[in-house]
Structure 1
Amino acid sequence: MKSLSKNWFIEGAIDFEHKKYVLLGYLQEINRHFDKNHLYPNLADLIFHYNNLLEFKNNKTVLQHSFPQRLSKADFEALKLTYQRMVQDDVTMNEIEHIIGYAMRKMDPAIQTGKHIYDFVESCLDIDPVGVVPLLPYNGYFTLRNGSQKTNWVYEYQITLFENADDKYRGIHISLVDTFEPNFVNTPESIKLQLIKNRKHLPNPAMYHVQSEISFPLEETLLPVAKRSLVRYISDAA
């Protein structure tokens, strides 16, 4: 995927026409991926860049959020001086603001397209618990069926809680365990019993069956949406 650096809009020559060319090339590729229903990492990357522009626009004096991470003190001081010169140069700052405004207007329709795809994929998902769910369902397994495809995937998952000063977030880590073709023998219930028998580290796991009515690209779309939907389903039920 063609990528933008974190600070593409203030790196190098501050020239609107050049930055416009760079941005439109990036968005053209993003939209090509969306045309194939490929959501990730494209949607997350696009939202990151939009929020980065918004943060710079709203917090021009917060240098830590405007320049790359992991800089040495000397590098940071050099960037700080460069930024201060920018602030004092009305022509340069006006050009940066012109670039930011244009970029945000161009990114917004692409973000909305990505969100529509995400919402549609999510609307096609059904999540059902398999057997009895333990009181703490934050470790376990889920099976994933992708439309009419014969192969089902089995993943182990672990949900963790992250906190910052403003909010709490739940994240999910998954690893592929196995695949199977569903039939009268290989049901989600029988797969759960096999997992308990063969994987002793989770003697009483939660298990969920996640199914999509329509087939989507697995790694780029269905699996990322299924993960987020499963986190919300478990969090709401807990």
Structure 2
Amino acid sequence: MKSLSVNWFIEGSLDFEFKKYQLLGYLQQINQHFNKTKLYPDLNDLIFHYNNLLKFKENKTALQKAFPERLTNADIEAVKLTYEKMVKDDSLMLEIEHIISYSLRKMDPALKEGREIYEFVESRLRIEPIGVIPLYPYHGYLLLRNGDERSTNVYEYQVTIFENHDEKYRGINTTFVASFERNFINTPEAIRKELIHVRREVPNPAVYHVETDIKFPLEQTLLPLAKRSLVKHISTAA
């Protein structure tokens, strides 16, 4: 996908028309993907850039604290140096503010559409535990059925906990294991038994079945949302 650099709005030529062209090309591609119900990685990227603009507008020195996973020391220094130059040049300050205000207005509709798609897909997901869930449900298998597709994809998952400043977050890593044909034999319960029998390295796994009645793009939409929903489900139940 066409991507914007972290500091795209203050890099290179600070000409409004050039930045407008750059932004509209980026948003055009995102909208094309959203029209096909393809959310990722576009939605995460769009949210990052939107928040990045807001943070720059509100407090230019707060970026490192807000986005440590995306901003390098070089990025932070670029922001600080540009800000120092901005406050000494009224015309440059006005041009930057013009670019930021325009960009935020243009990003708003795309963000709204992305969130609506997210909520719609999430509303079509159904999560069900298969068998007895162990006391430690953070490692196991995700069985994923995508609408009327004739297969069930199996992923081994591992929920991880990481800290960011004063808060704890949960993430999830998945690895594709196998695909089972959908029939009266390969029920979720039968797949669970097969996994336990064949994959002895996970002797007492948690197994969750996630399905949707509508087919969605697997890698760009369904799998990412299934993972997020599973983390939420496990966190609520634990």
- For this structure pair, what is the TM-score category when the shorter chain's length is used for normalisation? over 0.9
Residue identity over aligned pairs, in percent, reads 63
Following the alignment from structure 1 to structure 2, what is the Cα–Cα distance between the partners of residues 85 and 182?
A: 62
Alpha-carbon contact 2:151-2:180 (below 8 Å) kept: yes
Counterpart check, 1:194 vs 2:194:
yes
Measured in 1, the distance between the counterparts of 2:96 and 2:86 equals: 9
The superposition leaves residues 56-100 of structure 1 with CA deviations (integer Å, 9 ceiling, x where unpaired) of: 11112447579951539xx94x87545422221111011101111
Could you tell me which amino acid in structure 2 is paired with residue 30 of structure 1?
A: I
Matched, 1:71 2:69: no
Structure 2 residue identity aligned to 1:154: V
Aligned equivalents of 2:131, 2:62: Cα separation in 1:
51
Counterpart-to-counterpart distance in 1, 2:171 and 2:81: 38
Question: Is it true that 1:155 corresponds to 2:136 in the alignment?
Answer: no
RMSD: 2.0
Structure 2 length-normalised TM: 0.93
Structure 2: distance between partners of 1:25 and 1:168 = 36
Residue aligning to 2:60: 60
Structure 2 residue aligned with 1:179: 179
Cα 1:187–1:79, aligned 2, differ >3 Å: closer, same or farther? closer
1:225 aligned onto 2:225: yes
Rate the CA distance shift 1:177–1:60 in 2: closer, same or farther, 3 A.
same
Residue identity opposite 1:220 in structure 2? Q
Runs of 4+ in 1 over 4 A off after TM superposition: 62-68, 78-82
Counterpart of 1:94? 94
> C-alpha distance in 1, partners of 2:128/2:211?
9
Q: Which runs of 5+ in 2 are unaligned?
A: none
| SS of match in other structure, 1:24 | helix
CA distance in structure 2 between the aligned counterparts of 1:137 and 1:189, rounded to whole angstroms? 17
Q: What amino acid maps onto 1:207 in structure 2?
A: V
| Partner in structure 1 of residue 21 of structure 2 | 21
Structure 1 length-normalised TM? 0.93
Aligned length: 235
**Which string of whole-angstrom CA distances, capped at 9 and with x for unpartnered residues, describes residues 116-171 of structure 1?**
00111011110000000011100000110000110110000000111122322110
Q: Kindly indicate whether the alpha-carbon contact (under 8 Å) linking 2:159 and 2:231 is maintained by their aligned counterparts in 1.
A: yes
1:40 is paired with a residue whose SS is coil
Tell me, in whole angstroms, the C-alpha distance in 1 between the residues paired with 2:54 and 2:136.
39
Q: Determine if contact 2:60/2:79 at 8 Å carries over to the other structure.
A: no
- Is residue 39–residue 221 contact of structure 2 (8 Å, CA) maintained in 1? yes
Change (3 A) 1:85 1:25: same
The answer for the alignment partner of 1:124 in structure 2 is: 124
Is this contact kept in 1: 2:55–2:63, CA < 8 A?
no
Who is 1:49 aligned against?
49
Q: SS at the partner of 1:9?
A: helix
* Secondary structure at 2:95 match in 1: helix
CA contact (8 A) 1:63 1:80 kept: no
Alignment correspondent of 1:146? 146
Other-structure match for 1:38: 38
| Residue 107 (structure 1) aligned with residue 107 (structure 2) | yes
Unaligned runs of 5+ in 1: none
CA distance in 2, matches of 1:144, 1:80: 46
Are the equivalent residues in 2 in contact too, given 1:140–1:207 (CA < 8 A)? Answer: yes
Deviates more, 1:89-98 or 1:55-64: 55-64
